[in-house]
């Protein structure tokens, strides 16, 4: 049977996100921030979650039509305004391959009790492999741990070089509220 996750021909979901998806409270709402073509929101829709998709360009979701349970918010997260979802709480906050540092505290705040922060993006050292190489887009050592400290319980954390889907330096965390 094809699922929303497998029917889309784009990138496969991250193995890190897939690993922790079963721990997200059943049918709770999921935020996919800077979702791109929505590889992770497709995974969570297929698992029965409602999903809020945020990106400055949601054209990558056009094949999803009026999918049930999908809320689309096309907006610029870096325009200097306060985080637009500060009054909402999510069973999972999912962010991959995106970093805008001023948002980090608000993203931790957006995790509901028993919910998860699932974050994976490029880290310092990645400049050796190409882009992103701008320090604004690269996590510093321990930065995701610091983000979670005192607010979330860390289930897993890695800061390492990976070979796939392309050689890069990444940092990733799974943390529960």
Ligand X SMILES: C[S@@+](CC[C@H](N)C(=O)[O-])C[C@H]1O[C@@H](n2cnc3c(N)ncnc32)[C@H](O)[C@@H]1O
# binding residues, ligand X (CB under 6 A)? 14
Give yes or no for a cis peptide into 165 (omega within 30° of 0): yes
Q: Residue from 5, 8, 28, 36 that binds ligand X (CB under 6 A)? A: 36
CA gyration radius, the chain: 15
Pick the piece of the chain touching ligand X (CB under 6 A) from 28-36, 102-110, 155-163, 165-173. 28-36
Q: What is the closest distance, in whole angstroms, from the C-beta atom of residue 126 to ligand X in the complex? A: 13
Q: Is 69 helix (H, G, I), strand (E, B) or coil?
A: coil
55 binds ligand X (CB under 6 A): yes
Among 23-31, 33-41, 123-131, 141-149, the segment contacting ligand X (CB under 6 A): 33-41
- State the nearest-atom distance from the C-beta of 24 to ligand X, in Å: 17
Query: Rounded CA gap, 26 and 155, in Å?
Result: 18
Instruction: Look at the block and give the residue holding tokens 């709770």.
Output: 28
Determine the 3-state secondary structure of 53 from DSSP.
Answer: strand
Site for ligand X in 98-157 (CB under 6 A): 98
Query: In the structure encoding, which two tokens stand for residue 134, read together?
Result: 């701008």
CA distance 22 to 127: 33
DSSP letter, residue 13: P
Residues 12, 27, 57, 134: which binds ligand X (CB under 6 A)? 57
Q: How far is the CB of 38 from ligand X (least distance, A)?
A: 8
Q: Read off the tokens for 70.
A: 């999908």
Q: In the range 65-104, which residues lie near ligand X by CB under 6 A?
A: 76-78, 96-98
Report in angstroms how near the CB of residue 30 gets to ligand X at its nearest.
13
Tell me how far apart the terminal alpha carbons of the chain are, to the nearest angstrom.
34
The residue at minimum Cβ distance from ligand X is 36
Residues that bind ligand X (CB under 6 A): 11, 34-36, 39, 55-57, 76-78, 96-98
């Amino acid at each position: 049977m094809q699922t929303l996750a497998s029917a889309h021909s784009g990138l496969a979901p991250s193995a890190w996100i897939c690993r922790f998806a079963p721990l997200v409270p059943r049918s709770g709402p999921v935020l996919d921030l800077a979702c791109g073509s929505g590889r992770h929101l497709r995974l969570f829709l297929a698992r029965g979650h409602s999903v809020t998709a945020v990106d400055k360009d949601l054209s990558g979701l056009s094949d999803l039509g009026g999918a049930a349970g999908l809320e689309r918010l096309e907006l610029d997260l870096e325009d200097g305004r306060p985080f637009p979802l500060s009054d909402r709480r999510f069973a999972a906050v999912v962010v991959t391959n995106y970093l805008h540092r001023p948002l980090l505290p608000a993203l931790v705040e957006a995790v509901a009790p028993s919910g998860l922060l699932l974050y994976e993006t490029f880290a310092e050292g990645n400049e050796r492999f190409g882009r992103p190489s701008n320090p604004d887009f690269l996590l510093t050592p321990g930065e995701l741990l610091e983000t979670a400290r005192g607010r979330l319980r860390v289930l897993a954390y890695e800061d390492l070089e990976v070979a796939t889907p392309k050689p890069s330096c990444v940092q990733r965390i799974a943390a529960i509220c």
